[in-house]
Structure 1
Amino acid sequence: MTETDLPPRLTRLTFLGPLSEARAARIVGRLAGAAPTRVLDLGCGWGELMLRVLEAVPGASGTGIDLSAPDLARGRANAGARGLGDRVEFIEKSAAGTDHGPADLVLSIGAGHALGDAAPPHHIAEALAVLRRSVAPGGRVLFAEGFWQRSPTAAELAAMWPGARADEHHDLAGLVDLAVAAGFRPSWIETAGDDEWEDFESGYQSDVEEWLAAHPGHPLARETRERVDRHRTSWLRGYRGVLGMAYLTLVPVD
């Protein structure tokens, strides 16, 4: 079996999270306005937002850290195609307890769980402590993390990921409070909209859904179909309209 026999991987997604082009442009503009010279992306995936910051700040350099070799390869290819290959490094390793700071700009986009070993919801405080250590004085942190938009019902929890609990996430106010307690001031607070979530969830599944339609008899079709059906059910019957994504631009307190 060759790679061409397998479903494509996330080719319909620009960002590995619910983030629109318009919001990304606004975030990059704000972050680039602080003129960072060094950018650190923890749990970077393919590091699209980091690459856009580097494009907006000539001379800045970036480091992306993640455990996914395919995502890192995509990031390197994208960087090379955009003339950024000599300004960015993608490293395959755990971001937990990273020693790659301090940086003028630190990104953690939906990757708080990758910054330590604490179980939810305690991983948030642990992640914020890592981010506080990793940002240089006067720098910025973009912390994108999930929160409950409202308390999930028992039926919604049962439809989510295995072992989902109501205490797994904070609400938005609680998330911001933790950032303040970790030594930050929230310069900007924004959250993903329903359209961003729908674009992300549809894009997350689209490659595989079309592959399944074209390869119903493939040896991996049954296993793949069960996996994507579980994920779709988890979204539509579980966390749709319940789980939010906050994008917090944080400034460290001197």
Structure 2
Amino acid sequence: MTADDLPPRLTRLAFHGPMSEARAGRLVATLAAARPATVLDIGCGWGEFLLRILEAAPGATGVGLDVDARDLARGRELAARRGLDGRAGFVEESAFATSRGPADLVLCLGSSQALCDPDGPHDVAAALRGLRRLVAPGGRVLLAEGFWHRVPTAEELARMWPDAREDDHRTLGALVDEAVGAGFRPAGIETADRDEWEQFESGYRYDAEVWLAAHPDHPAAAETRARVDRQRSSWLDGYRDILGMAYLTLVPVG
């Protein structure tokens, strides 16, 4: 069995998160207006947002860090296709305790876990302290982070991802308070809407669902079907309308 026999991966998604083109355009324009010369993308995936920043900020250079070689290869291909390969680097390495930075603009879009101890639980406070260390004076951080619209019940948690806990996330107010406590002022606070979530969730599974319909008896179909059905159920019956995504534009104090 080769990779060509398996479903393609996330080809319907521009961003690995619930972000519309309209929101991306606004955020890119706002961040590029600060004229960053250096950009650091933590847990960059294929780096679509990083590349759009570089397109909007001529002369800026950027580095994306991730541990997924497939996503990094996709990012390099996108950069070359758009003439940005001389300004964008994609590096396969962990961001935990990284010595990179400080950068004028630090992106951390749904990947704060990359700044946490891999042997410990997710700790958004620690991730925020890491971001504060990585951003240059007068710079900006764009953090996309999950939050609870309301604290879920035990029954709702049981229908989410495996071992979901109440302290996996904070409410939006508590999340912003953590950012302030880490040494930031929240210059922008936005949250993904239901349409953005539905577009993301559908796009996340699209390739696998189409492949399963065409290959019901493939040797990998049973495992793929179980994974996709489990993930779809965790959204529809679990975290839908309970888990949110915040986009925080943070400015370091001092």
SS in 2 for 1:234: helix
Match of 1:201 in 2: 201
Match of 1:95 in 2: 95
Alignment TM-score, normalising by the size of structure 2: 0.98
SS in 2 for 1:127: helix
Measure how far apart 1:207 and its partner are: 0.2
Cα deviation digits, residues 147-172 of structure 1 (max 9, x gap): 00011122221111111111221000
- Matching residue within 111, 118, 121 for 1:119: 121
Cα deviation digits, residues 26-67 of structure 1 (max 9, x gap): 000000010000000000001111100000011000000000
SS in 2 for 1:83: coil
Matches within 5 A, 1:3-82: 3-82=3-82
For 2:150 and 2:66, the matched residues in 1 are separated by 31
SS in 1 for 2:166: coil
Cα deviation digits, residues 56-114 of structure 1 (max 9, x gap): 01100000000000000000000000000000110001111111100000000000111
Cα deviation digits, residues 113-142 of structure 1 (max 9, x gap): 11111413xx10110011000000000000
SS in 2 for 1:167: helix
For 1:252 and 1:154, the matched residues in 2 are separated by 37
Q: Is there any run of 5+ residues in structure 1 with no aligned partner, and where?
A: none
Q: Which residue type is aligned with residue 169 of structure 1? A: H
Match of 1:157 in 2: 157
For 2:7 and 2:94, the matched residues in 1 are separated by 26
Q: Which residue type is aligned with residue 219 of structure 2? A: P
User: Number of paired residues?
Assistant: 252
Q: Is there any run of 5+ residues in structure 2 with no aligned partner, and where?
A: none
Q: Which residue type is aligned with residue 142 of structure 1? A: L
Matches within 5 A, 1:138-153: 138-153=138-153
SS in 2 for 1:39: strand
Task: Provide the identity percentage.
Answer: 66
Output the aligned Cα RMSD: 0.7
Q: Which residue type is aligned with residue 121 of structure 2? A: A
Q: Which residue type is aligned with residue 243 of structure 1? A: L
Match of 2:185 in 1: 185
Q: Which residue type is aligned with residue 57 of structure 1? A: A
Cα deviation digits, residues 152-204 of structure 1 (max 9, x gap): 12222111111111122100000000000000000000000000000000000
For 2:55 and 2:242, the matched residues in 1 are separated by 35
Alignment TM-score, normalising by the size of structure 1: 0.98
